């Protein structure tokens, strides 16, 4: 998508990327980005372990919500 950028009465069209995220997706991306720039390897390992655990919880929740959706659709 090209968006007009106006500066000092000059207009230039610039191609941009628009990202639409859920709150969880935005949080996940922010945490991941923050981890990439940590300098302490032990902190990185702990954070990665936490993220792995959280992703397992989210995955399980997705499975449960899908099952609930199937049940509701059968009603």
Read off the pTM: 0.52
Span 53-71, pLDDT tens digits:
988 998 899 999 999 999 9
* pLDDT above 90 as % of the chain: 31
Span 8-41, pLDDT tens digits:
889 999 998 888 888 888 888 888 788 777 778 8
Span 37-54, pLDDT tens digits:
777 888 888 888 888 898
Domain positions in the chain: 21-74
SS3 5: strand
Mean residue pLDDT across the chain: 87
- Using CA atoms, how far apart are residues 68 and 17, in angstroms rounded to an integer? 35
């Amino acid at each position: 998508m090209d968006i007009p950028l106006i500066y000092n009465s000059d207009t230039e069209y610039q191609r941009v990327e628009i990202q639409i995220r859920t709150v969880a997706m935005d949080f996940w991306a922010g945490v991941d980005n923050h981890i990439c720039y940590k300098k302490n390897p032990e902190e990185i390992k702990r954070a990665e372990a936490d993220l792995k655990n959280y992703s397992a919880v989210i995955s399980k929740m997705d499975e449960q919500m899908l099952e609930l959706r199937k049940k509701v659709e059968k009603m």
